[in-house]
Structure 1
Amino acid sequence: MELPIKLSEQSREPIYHQIEHQIKALIASGQLEAGTSLPSIRALSKDLEVSVITTRRAYQNLEYEGFIKTLQGKGTFVADINVSLKKEIKEDTVANALRKAIGTAYQHNYSKKEVKRLFNQLLDESEGES
C-alpha cells in the first residue's frame, strides 16, 4: 500500500512531523480505517525517499500517541481512535492549512478584506464543483 503523503523540503517542519501529521489526517478523514495495514518502515522510507530513521521516528511517535499499533511479526496497523480525536485532528489540519494560506496572502500584501474576498470566491467555486 502506498500512502498519499507529500513532503516539502522547503517547509520548516521536520520531515518526520510531516509524515506524522499526514498519516493522522488520513486516519481522521477515514481514508485509513482502523485495522488497515500500513507499509513497513523500510517500504515507506523507500517510497518517500527519506531515511529509515526518519520514518521510524514518525511511526514511533504515532504509536506512542495511539494512532497506530505494531504487532510483532505481523506488521503495523491503524489503531481504533475515538470520534472526538478524529474531529480534533481534522479541525487542526484544516486550521493549519488556512493559517499557511493566510500567511502567504499577507506575504503578498493582501489586506484582510482581500483575503476574505478571495476565500469566499474559492469557497463558492468549490461548492459549484460538489
Structure 2
Amino acid sequence: MELPIKLSEQSREPIYHQIEHQIKALIASGQLETGTPLPSIRALSKDLEVSVITTRRAYQNLEYEGFIKTLQGKGTFVANIHSSLKREIKEDTVVRALKTAIETAYQHNYSKTEINKLFNAILNDQEGRL
C-alpha cells in the first residue's frame, strides 16, 4: 500500500514530523480506517526516498501517541482513534495549511486585504464545485 504523502525539502519542519502529521491527517479524515495495515518501515522509506531511521522515528512517535500499533510478526496497523481526537487533528491539519499559505503570501508581499480577497475567491470557487 502506497500512502499519499508529499514531503517538502524546503519546509523547516523535519521530515519525520511531516510524515507523522500526514499519517495523522489520513487517519483523522478516514482515508486510513482502524485496522488498516500500513507499509513496513523499509517499504515506506523506499517509497518516500528517506532513511529508514527517519521513517522509524515517525512510526515510533505515532505508536507512542496511539495512532498506530505494531503487532509482532504481523505488521503495523491504524489504531482505533476517538472521534474528538480526529476532529482535533483535522482542525490542526487545516490550520497548518492555512498558516503555510499565509506565510507564502506575506513572502510575496501580499497585504492582508489581498490575502482575504484570494482566500474568498478560492473558497467561492471550491463551494461551486461541491
Q: TM-score, normalised by structure 1?
A: 0.98
Bigger shift: 109-118 or 82-91? 109-118
What percentage of aligned pairs have identical amino acids?
83
The amino acid across from 1:33 in the alignment is E
CA RMSD of aligned residues (A): 0.6
- Name 2:3's counterpart in structure 1: 3
- Name 2:98's counterpart in structure 1: 98
Alignment of 1:18-57 (within 5 A): 18-57=18-57
> Gaps (5+ residues) in structure 2?
none
Q: Which runs of 4+ in 1 moved over 2 A?
A: none
The amino acid across from 1:58 in the alignment is A
- Name 1:77's counterpart in structure 2: 77
- Name 2:61's counterpart in structure 1: 61
> Gaps (5+ residues) in structure 1?
none
Shift of 1:128: 1.0
Q: Using the alignment, how far apart are the partners of 2:51 and 2:104 within structure 1?
A: 30
The amino acid across from 1:24 in the alignment is K
Bigger shift: 108-117 or 83-92? 108-117
Bigger shift: 103-112 or 63-72? 103-112
Q: TM-score, normalised by structure 2?
A: 0.98
SS at match of 2:42: helix
Shift of 1:110: 1.2
The amino acid across from 2:85 in the alignment is L
Alignment of 1:98-117 (within 5 A): 98-117=98-117
The amino acid across from 1:113 in the alignment is T
SS at match of 1:10: coil
Shift of 1:5: 0.4
SS at match of 2:2: coil
Shift of 1:62: 0.1
Shift of 1:31: 0.1
Q: Using the alignment, how far apart are the partners of 2:117 and 2:10 within structure 1?
A: 28
Deviations, residues 36-67 of structure 1 (Å, cap 9, x unaligned): 00000010001111111110000000000000
- Paired residues, number: 130
Shift of 1:129: 1.2
Shift of 1:102: 0.7
